[in-house]
Amino acid sequence: MKYTEDHEWLRVEGDLVVVGITEHAATQLGDVVFVELPEVEAMVARGDEVVVIESVKAASDILAPVDGEIIEVNDALVDTPRLVNDDPLGAGWFFKIRVDDLSVLDDFLDEDEYEEMIA
């Protein structure tokens, strides 16, 4: 598992990268009440706003961590947005993205580095 400085986690699954937010981020956001997901087959660039999360308090954007094509989105979040709070590392994933070269993940934080960042 890799992590971004924006509190996303990235997990390789075959030739795809699964993206979600960390437990730390989910706690900070508070109770999630709405999630807007990207279109499947959308081509996105690193830094694009691809997901909108609304908590009781405020809206937050999730940025695409890498360039690629959105292959699958977690439709369960549309009806059950609080999966992001209940299981951020599992059932609360947002989307799967296909990248040209999985080695782009080498640039991201590993777990120790992420834990150090939020400590």
Partner 1 sequence: MTEDTALRRLALNDLHLALGARLVPFAGYEMPVQYSAGVMQEHLHTRAAAGLFDVSHMGQVILWPKVGMDRLALALEALVPADVAGLKPGRQRYGLFTDMRGGILDDFMVANRETHFLVVVNAACKAADLAHMRAHLSPVAEVIGVTDRALLALQGPLSEAALARLLPDVARMRFLDVTTQVWQGQDIWVSRSGYSGEDGFELSLPETHARAFAEALLAMPEVAPAGLGARDSLRLEAGLCLYGHDIDTTTSPVEAGLGWAIQPVRRAGGARAGGFPGADRILRELADGPSRLRVGLRPEGRAPMREGTALFHGGTRVGTVTSGGFGPSVGAPIAMGYVPRALAGPGTLLQGEVRSRHMPVAVSALPFRTTAYKR
CB of 46 vs partner 1, minimal distance in Å:
20
* CA dist., res. 18 & res. 35, Å (int): 16
CB of 47 vs partner 1, minimal distance in Å:
17
Question: β-strands 49-55, 43-44: how paired?
Answer: unpaired
Complex with partner 1: residue 16 or 22, whichever CB lies closer: 22
Complex with partner 1: residue 2 or 74, whichever CB lies closer: 74
* CA dist., res. 20 & res. 90, Å (int): 8
Complex with partner 1: residue 36 or 48, whichever CB lies closer: 36
Provide the 3-class DSSP secondary structure of residue 71.
Answer: strand
**Intra-chain end-to-end CA distance of the chain, in Å:** 18
Complex with partner 1: residue 75 or 113, whichever CB lies closer: 75
Binding site for partner 1 (CB under 8 A): 30-31, 33-34, 36, 52, 54-59, 78, 81
* Alpha-carbon radius of gyration of the chain: 13
